[in-house]
Amino acid sequence: MESSRALLLVAVAAAVAGLAAANFRDDCDIPWEPQNADFTSDGNGLTMKLVSNYSGCMLRTKKQFIYGTVSTLIQLVPGNSAGTVTTYYTSSVGDNHDEIDFEFLGNETGQPYTFHTNIYADGVGNKEMQFKPWFDPTTGYHNYTISWSPCMIVWYVDSVPIRVFRNYQSSKGVAYPTSRPMFAHSSIWEAGDWATQGGRVKTDWTKAPFVARYDNIHLDVCECSGYGGCATSCPAAASGACQLSPAELGQMHWVQNNYRIYDYCVDNKRWTNGQKPVECDLAQQY
């Protein structure tokens, strides 16, 4: 078991190459239900458990940042994970918050997870895009990365870009996170009223505890200090390209053409008189 796990970690290591290694135990806190978190002896691995509908778990980095890349390896809850939500996201605090989401919505045994992505800027979200995975995310570790730069946000799975959200704030007035410091978070919680097949399938608590496994968090970010404020022009901010490479574009097209199951931009019933959000007509996906 340990040897297969090691091989998986080596195979995915390229997905986090160049990022700054961090440590779950030393660089993060557990502000919600810490008794449901267990660290490996070196602090580089973590499990989080959902025990009941009011007792899950949440991890948060100790430091805030503006711009950068956050990445980790996750093995999602196996078996009947219906009603569970495992997350990896960045978020500011306070009113009109900013947030960049990866949420992994569980399902019945044998049915695929839903990868749910969203972005909040100035407190407004409603920019959901969802995917089915092209692999089984419960049998091994896979890399999930959020890259946040001044010009675009990119969601990656195993180094494959699955979505882009561009900064059209100055040119078109589309809200974009630029000034509120964020923490990186991971969590597991219960949402049986909506998470699985629209809430039709509820959480089976006889299968609890539900366990998500994390390994090797990497943070390459512009950190905020208590005295010097936030650096928004550090190397981590500059390292984010403003365009995907041709190869990355091809990968993203493949994912979106074959595995995307929801896109807010084409959900016309959500928009008054069919008027889409401005960014939907601005080559937003590329």
42 backbone dihedrals φ, ψ, rounded to 5°: -90, -5
Q: Which residue of the set 103, 108, 223, 248 is catalytic?
A: 103
Q: Name 91's Cβ contacts closer than 8 Å, sequence gap at least 6.
A: 97, 98, 99, 100, 120, 182, 183, 185
Question: Percentages helix, strand, coil for the chain, rounded to the nearest 5?
Answer: 20, 40, 40
> 111: which 2 tokens?
């049915």
> 51: which 2 tokens?
């025990």
> 194: which 2 tokens?
């909506």
Q: Which residue of the set 99, 190, 223, 248 is catalytic?
A: 99
Helix (H, G, I), strand (E, B) or coil at 155: strand
Q: What's the 3-state SS for 27-79?
A: HEEEEECHHHEEECCCCCEEEEEECECCECEEEEECCCEEEEEEEEEEECCCC
* Cα 242 versus chain centre, distance: 20
Nearest-angstrom CA–CA distance, 24 and 272: 44
Q: Is 248 among the residues known to form the active site? A: no
Hey, how many other C-beta atoms are within 10 angstroms of the C-beta on 172?
13
Helix (H, G, I), strand (E, B) or coil at 120: strand
Q: What is the dihedral of CA 182, 243, 120, 214, to 10 degrees?
A: -60
> Which residues does the annotation mark as catalytic?
99, 103
